[in-house]
Structure 1
Amino acid sequence: MPETASAVTRTPSGRLALAASADKIALGPLDGRYQSAVAPLVDYLSEAALNRDRIAVEVEWLIHLTANSVLPGAGPLSSAQLEQLRAIVTEFDASDVAELAEIEAVTVHDVKAVEYFIGRRLPAIGIENLTAMVHFGCTSEDINNLSYALGIKGAVEDAWLPAARSLVDQLQAMAEENRSVPMLSRTHGQPATPTTLGKELAVIAHRLRRQLDRVAKTEYLGKINGATGTYAAHVASVPSADWQNVSRSFVEGLGLTWNPLTTQIESHDWQAELYADIARFNRILHNVCTDIWSYISIGYFRQIPVAGATGSSTMPHKVNPIRFENAEANLEISNGLLDVLGATLVTSRWQRDLTDSSSQRNIGVAFGHSLLAISNVAKGLKALDVANDVLAGDLDSNWEVLGEAIQMVMRAEAIAGVPGMENPYERLKDLTRGQRVDANRMKEFVSGLGLSEEAEARLLALTPGSYTGIAEKLVDHLK
C-alpha cells in the first residue's frame, strides 16, 4: 500500500495501520472475499437487519396495543398514522443505522437506542402522547427474541433453504441423468459389488432432502412477557387486560409460535434444534465433497477447465478441485459455530445471563459459511464431466466382484437340488480373494461348476458392468 501525503499511522511493529481504512477493509472473509456469495443473508442476519427488526417489533407492539385498546385512553390509530409508523421500518436506511449508532453511543444499550429512535419520530406522526407506550411492559429480551426469530426465519426461508434446495435439485438431476451408468463400488476402499453413478448420487440427494424437510418444519418461537416471564409489570399497570392473550396474539401475528413459559429469555431451544438440523445437512454435504473429490482423484469425473483460470502457480497442467475443498473448510467452520450456538443457547443461569447475547451475534457467520459452501459445491458440480471410459475400464479390470453373484447362484442351485454346489463361498474365496480375475478366467470357472443350464447361461452373460441389480430403478425414489 503506497504512502500518501496524508498522515500515515503504523502499528507498534512498524507496519502500515490498515485500521485507518477499516470502513473499506473487511476483517473476515464473509464481508470481504466472499461477500457476493453471502449477500442474501445481509437483509436478515446483519447488525443493521437486527436493528430494523427490533424497530419492526417495537412498532408492531405499539400498534397491537392501540388496535386492541389494551391501555385505557389509547385506542386504535388512523390508517395514515399506521402507514407512517410502519414507514419507520420500510424506509430504514443507512442514515438511520448511523443515527441509531449515535444514540447507542450515549445509552450504551442497543434496545434502549431503538426505543429512543422510534420516540423521536412520533411527534411528526402526531402521536407524541403515545411515547410512553413504546417498549411498554417490555424487557430487552422481549424485543430481541422476536427480532432474532424473525431474522433467522427470513434467512432460512428466503436465503438458505432456496440455495440448499437448488443444490439438491442439481444432484437429483445428475442422478437421473446418470441412473444407468455402471460404476464400481468401493467398500472399505476396495472393489465391491457394482452400482450406478446415478444411484449413488440419488442416495446423497435423498439424505440431504430429508434434512431440508426437517429444517422446513422448524418452529420459530417467541415470547413477550416481561422481565422474568410473569407479566408482573403488565398486571401492575393494567390489571384489567388479558395479558396472555395479548402476548399470544401478538407473537402469532408476527408469524411465530408463542412460547407461554419462559424466564426473562425465550429459551432458545428451537434455535438449537434448527442448528442441529443445518449442521447435519452440512455434515452430509461435507461427505459429498470428500467423495466427489476422491472420484475426481481416480478419474471418474473430469473437471472442465475455466478459461483463463490457473490451477497451480507452477504446474500448468493442473485443474484442482478447489470448489469442493473450499466447501469442506467452510462447512467445518459453519458447524463449529452451529455446535457452539446449540450448546450455549440452551443454557442460562437462573432467570437470565448474557451469554446468549454475544453468541447470537455470530448466527449470521454460521449461516454465511454454510451458504458459501453450498454455492461452491453447486459451482463445482457444474464443472464436472462424467468419465464414462474410466468407469467402464475400472469395471472391466475387476471381474472378481462377480464372485458374490456366482456364490449366491450356487447357493440357490444347492437349495434346488443341483449336486456339486458345496462350499460356494470357500470356492469363490480361493479363486478371487486378493487376486485379479479376468473375463476368461471367470467364465472358465463358471463353466466348470456344473450349474443348471439356465443358471450357467445367466452367469456367463453377466459382466461387472451389468451386475448392478435394480440400481437404475432405485433412482425413482427421488420422485
Structure 2
Amino acid sequence: MDSHMIDSEIFGHQWASTESRAIFAEKARVTRWLEIVIALARAQAECGIIPTESAEKIAQLRGVELPIGEIGARTRETSHSTLGMIQVLRGMLPGEAAEHIYYGTTVQDITDTSQVIELLAVGALLWRDLWWIEDALLQLAVQHRLTPMAGRTHGQPGAPISFGFKVASWADEIGRHLQRLRDGHNRWRVGQLGGAVGTLAFFGDRALDLRAAFCRQLSLGEPDISWLCARDRLAEFSHVVAMSVSSLARIANEVYALQRREIGELAERTRASVVGSITMPHKRNPEVSEQIVTLARLVRSQASVLTDTMVNEHERDGRNWKVEWVAFPEICHFALAATTMARELVSGLEVNSVAMGRNLGANSSSERLLSAMSVRLGKHRAQRLLQDAYSQAREEQRDLSAVLHGVATEAELAELSHVNLGASGLMVDRVVDTALRRRASESEQWQ
C-alpha cells in the first residue's frame, strides 16, 4: 500500500513530517468528519431542528473506533463520498437519532469544513517553524554582521558584502511570510454549511441561525455566503505556503552552491553515519539543501493546480474540489517536510569565514575604486579605464596596481587594499530591529 513516497517506510521522512502524517492519516480524517457531524447535530438541536436527545446520542459516537474497511466498502458500493460513513454511523445509532445524523446537509459541508480545520493545523505548524527559523537567522545575522564575503552577481564574485547582510535578507523575507500568515488567518478560518446549492433552503428561516451555531461549535468564523464554488481561500493559503517554502529553497540553494569544495564558505552539519557517495568516499553532499529545493518545486506545482480549482461551473463542481483532496495534502506534506529540514539546516549551518575572506580575491574592491576615480575623471570614463585595466591584468597575468600605475592616483589605488562592506552592517541592524519590534507584538502561536 506504500506506493506514494509520502507513505514509504524507506523514503517517507524526506517527503512528509510526522506531524503532517498525523493530520492527514485516514483515521484522523474520518475522526475529523465525525467531529463535524457531531457539531452539526448539536447546532441543529440548539436551533430546534432536531431533538436534543438525537444530538446527545450522536455526540456519544465520539471516541468510537470507526471501521475504516467497512466505510470504504460502502463508499465504493454507493459511489458517494460520505454516504459510506453515514451508513456506518446510522447503524451505530438507536431509532430516531439514526434519522437525524447528517441531516439536510451535503458532502462539501463536511469535507470543506474538514479541509479548513486541516488548513489551520498546518498553518499553525508552518507558523511555528517559520517563527523559529526567523529567530535563528536573526541571531546568525547579528553574529556575522561584519563578516566579509564576496557578493555575487550572475554567479560571479562581485563587490564585498557581509555574511550577516546575506542572512538578514533571508530573515527579512521569512518575516514577510509570517505577516502574510497572520493577515490571512481570519480570512481562511471559516466553516462551510451550504446544503445542496448553497442557499440552505432545507432549513427555511432557521438557516442562518443554524450556520452561525455550526461554526460556533467548531470555533470557526462564519462566512457571509456559502463558498461551494469560491475556492480562493484555499488557493491563497496554498500560494502563501508555496512562497514560504520557496524562500527556504532560496536559502538551501545558497548553501548548496557555497558548499562546493572550490568555494567552501558554507556547509551543512553532517553526522559520521552519513555517506555522501558509495563510489567517491571523499564527497560530502548537501543532501538536506537539495531536498528542500526539490520539495519547493513540488509545492509550487501543486499550488498552481489549486489556482486552477478557482474556475468552477455554477453552484457545485466536483471536478475542482476533488482535485483539492489530492493536491492540498501533498502541498502540506511537502511543505512541513521542508520546514523541518530547514530548521535542521539553519541550526547546524557551518560558516567558514576564512574561506569567505580568501574568496574575496583581488577584484573585491573594484566598486570602491570606481567610486574614487569617478570623482576625478567622471563615472563613465573611469568605468571604461578600469574595465580595460582589469581585462589587461587578466590577459597579461599582471598585478592590477602595476597596470593602473600612472592611471590612478596613490590614494585611489589604496582602495584596493580595503574591504568596504558599504551599508551592510546598518541594513542588518534595521532588519533585526524591525523584526524584533514586530515579533514583540506577535505570539509564537498562529492567531
TM-score with structure 1 setting the length:
0.78
Q: By how many angstroms is 1:293 displaced?
A: 0.9
The answer to whether residue 164 in structure 2 is matched with residue 198 in structure 1 is yes
**1:429 aligned to 377, 387, 403, which one?**
387
Instruction: Give the match's secondary structure for 2:157.
Output: strand
Cα 1:439–1:334, aligned 2, differ >3 Å: closer, same or farther?
same
Distance 1:174 1:443, change over 3 A: farther
2:369 matched to 1:406?
A: yes
Partner of residue 377 from structure 1, selected from 325, 339, 342? 342
In structure 2, give the amino acid aligned to 1:41: S
- The offset of 1:289, in angstroms, is 2.2
User: Unmatched 5+ residue regions in structure 2?
Assistant: 436-447
Distance 2:245 2:405 in 1: 46
> Which residue matches 1:88?
61
1:109 corresponds to which of 77, 80, 99: 80
Q: What residue number does 2:291 align with?
A: 326
Q: Give the number of equivalent residue pairs.
A: 422
Q: Given that residues 150 and 157 in structure 2 are in contact (C-alpha distance below 8 angstroms), is that contact kept between their aligned partners in structure 1?
A: yes
Q: How does 1:276-287 map to 2 (within 5 A)?
A: 276-287=239-250
Q: How does 1:122-201 map to 2 (within 5 A)?
A: 122-123=93-94, 128-157=95-124, 159-201=125-167
Q: Does 1:347 align with 2:317?
A: no
Using the TM superposition, give the Cα deviation of residue 145 of structure 1 relative to its aligned residue in structure 2, in angstroms: 1.2
Instruction: Report the 3-state secondary structure (helix = DSSP H, G, I; strand = E; otherwise coil) of the residue aligned with 1:151.
Output: helix
Q: CA deviation at 1:87?
A: 5.3
Q: Call closer, same or farther: CA 1:98–1:170 in 2, change over 3 Å.
A: farther
Instruction: Structure 1: state its 5+ residue gaps.
Output: 1-21, 236-240, 416-420
Which of 208, 226, 247 is residue 244 of structure 1 equivalent to? 208
Query: What SS does structure 2 have at the residue aligned with 1:346?
Result: coil
Query: Which amino acid in structure 1 is aligned with residue 23 of structure 2?
Result: Y
Structure 1 residue corresponding to 2:27, chosen from 48, 72, 93: 48
User: Which of 460, 463, 477 is residue 414 of structure 2 equivalent to?
Assistant: 460
Q: Out of 214, 222, 234, which is 2:191 matched to?
A: 222
Instruction: State the Cα distance separating 1:382 from its structure 2 match.
Output: 4.3
Q: For the residues of structure 2 that align with 1:323 and 1:422, how far apart are their CA atoms? A: 45
Is residue 356 of structure 1 aligned with residue 320 of structure 2? yes
Distance 2:109 2:428 in 1: 48
Partner of 1:3: none
1:434/1:186 CA distance change after superposition, 3 Å:
farther
- State the partner residue of 2:442: none
Q: CA deviation at 1:294?
A: 0.9
Query: What is the rounded CA distance, in whole Å, between the counterparts of 1:181 and 1:283 in structure 2?
Result: 26
- Report the CA distance between 1:304 and its aligned residue: 4.4
Alpha-carbon separation, structure 2, partners of 1:472 and 1:332: 33
Change (3 A) 1:44 1:308: closer
Q: Distance in 1 between matches of 2:393 and 2:206?
A: 80
Letter in 2 for 1:375: T
CA distance in 1, matches of 2:67, 2:172: 45
Counterpart CA distance in 1 for 2:405 and 2:203 is 86
Q: Which residue of 1 aligns with 2:42?
A: 63
Shift of 1:181: 0.9
Q: Per the alignment, in what secondary structure is the counterpart of residue 191 of structure 1? A: strand
Shift of 1:198: 1.3
Deviation >6 Å, runs of 4+: 437-440
Matched letter for residue 116 of structure 1: Q
Distance 2:218 2:82 in 1: 19
User: Structure 2 counterpart of 1:288, which letter?
Assistant: I
| More RCO (CA 8 Å, sep 6+) | 2
Q: Spell out, residue by residue over 1:363-420, the C-alpha distance to the aligned partner (whole angstroms, 9 max, x if none).
A: 212211222223333334444421222111112x22x3323223323445689xxxxx
The match for 2:232 is 269
Give the deviation of 1:449 after TM superposition: 4.7
Deviation at 1:186, TM superposition (A): 1.1
> 2 CA distance for matches of 1:276 and 1:305?
32
Tell me the distance in 1 between the aligned counterparts of 2:257 and 2:357: 17
What is the DSSP-based 3-state SS (H/G/I as helix, E as strand, rest coil) of the residue aligned with 1:361?
helix
CA contact (8 A) 1:53 1:147 kept: yes
Shifted more, 105-114 versus 140-149: the winner is: 105-114
Q: Distance in 1 between matches of 2:337 and 2:35?
A: 29
The one-character-per-residue Cα deviations of 1:237-296 (angstroms, maximum 9, x if unpaired) are xxxx33223213422542333333347x25221001111111122223223222211111
Cα root mean square deviation, aligned: 3.2
Change (3 A) 1:243 1:403: same
- Is the contact between residue 58 and residue 135 of structure 1 (CA under 8 Å) also seen in structure 2? yes
| Structure 1 SS opposite 2:249 | helix
User: Is contact 1:303-1:319 (8 Å) kept?
Assistant: no
Higher-Rg member (1/2): 1
In the alignment, is residue 29 of structure 1 matched against residue 8 of structure 2? no
CA contact (8 A) 1:54 1:114 kept: no
User: Do the aligned residues in 2 keep the contact of 1:222 with 1:266 (CA within 8 Å)?
Assistant: no
Contact 2:268–2:348 (8 Å) recurs in 1: yes
TM-score, length-normalised on structure 2?
Answer: 0.83
